[in-house]
Homo-oligomer: A and B are copies of this chain.
Amino acid sequence: MSITVVGSVAYDSIETPAGRRERCLGGAATYFSLAASFFTGVRVIAVVGDDFGPEQEAIFTRKNIDTCGIERAPGKSFFWEGSYLENLNEAKTRSTELNVFASFEPKIPDAYRDSDFLFLANIDPILQRRVRDAMPAVKLVAGDTMNYWIKDHRPALLEVLKGLDVLLINDTEVRMLSGNSNLVQAARAVIALGPHVLVVKHGEYGATLFHESTPKGKKAELRTFRAPALPLKEVVDPTGAGDSFAGGFFGYLASQPELTPAAWRHAMYYGGVMGSFACERFGTERLQQLSRAEIDNRFNVFRELTHLD
């Protein structure tokens, strides 16, 4: 089933211990779409500037990603410059230029309206809410956010959380959002805000899924599942690893006939798999060149990394 994703399509200049790249195609919606495209049909809602041409568009269309929702606006695309020289686990932002993104008003193409899955990548919660409300018939909505929105746009973010099935955030964000430093207590607090599934990403340590379920006639219980990350010999560029995780996770879910407990667990592993590939080269290079066979092989590596028998 198709996923519609709304988020940024951007240019990134990135410096890591492995080197430097100028103006790679990036943005949360780009990483998410590429990762999810190996599992299901993907449709993108974003805005780009005059600097986004046929070469960039082909990165999407080669993966059969629907780009009719990528709006062209006069001016330049969103630009981010960051460095991982001090800490590979956390980017230091050197420069952010919103450009055409500053006045982004997401428009949903009619052709996208039958999407069953909706992913709200990390953008202004007011826009996330607007897209969510405009697609009331979707079966599953997942979303991401970041420290900036949690800290300074809390009321708008809380409105978004009410309409989410799944929230994907990292350790720092879940603690900031809940005001609680214990992961389990923090997860319960976030789930009480709306999403019934919470995925907390732990960077190089993997990710944990928390799922509130109420077995018949019993008290609600919090089920947990932990997927590993792959210990990598070299992390070339961690940019987009979290969005690639989300793409693999949500793309796999959207490809399944039914959202069984096993489907959620496999989705967590596919999330980890796509996140690990994203780190192996700069920008989206690795995702662009990836084959489904490589994904399946790495899935097996993840299984061997964690399974007893």
Residues of A within 8 A of B (CB): 88, 181-185, 187, 202, 204-206, 208, 224-228, 231-235, 262, 265-266, 269, 303, 305-309
Q: Indicate if the CB atoms of A307 and B305 lie closer than 8 Å.
A: no
Q: Is the interface of A mostly helix, strand, loop or mixed?
A: mixed
Q: Which residue of B lies closest to A209 (CB)?
A: B305
Q: Indicate if the CB atoms of A235 and B308 lie closer than 8 Å.
A: no
Which 10 A-B residue pairs are closest in the complex by CB-CB distance? A205-B205, A226-B228, A184-B233, A184-B231, A306-B306, A265-B308, A226-B305, A183-B231, A224-B231, A226-B306
A183 to B224, CA, bound (A): 26
List, sorted by A's number, 8 A–B pairs whose CB atoms are closer than 8 Å.
A182-B232, A183-B231, A184-B231, A206-B226, A228-B228, A266-B308, A269-B308, A307-B307
Q: Indicate if the CB atoms of A231 and B205 lie closer than 8 Å.
A: no
Q: Indicate if the CB atoms of A231 and B208 lie closer than 8 Å.
A: yes
Q: Indicate if the CB atoms of A233 and B182 lie closer than 8 Å.
A: yes
A307–chain B nearest beta-carbon distance, Å: 6
Chain B residues whose C-beta falls within 8 Å of the C-beta of A202 in the assembled complex: 205
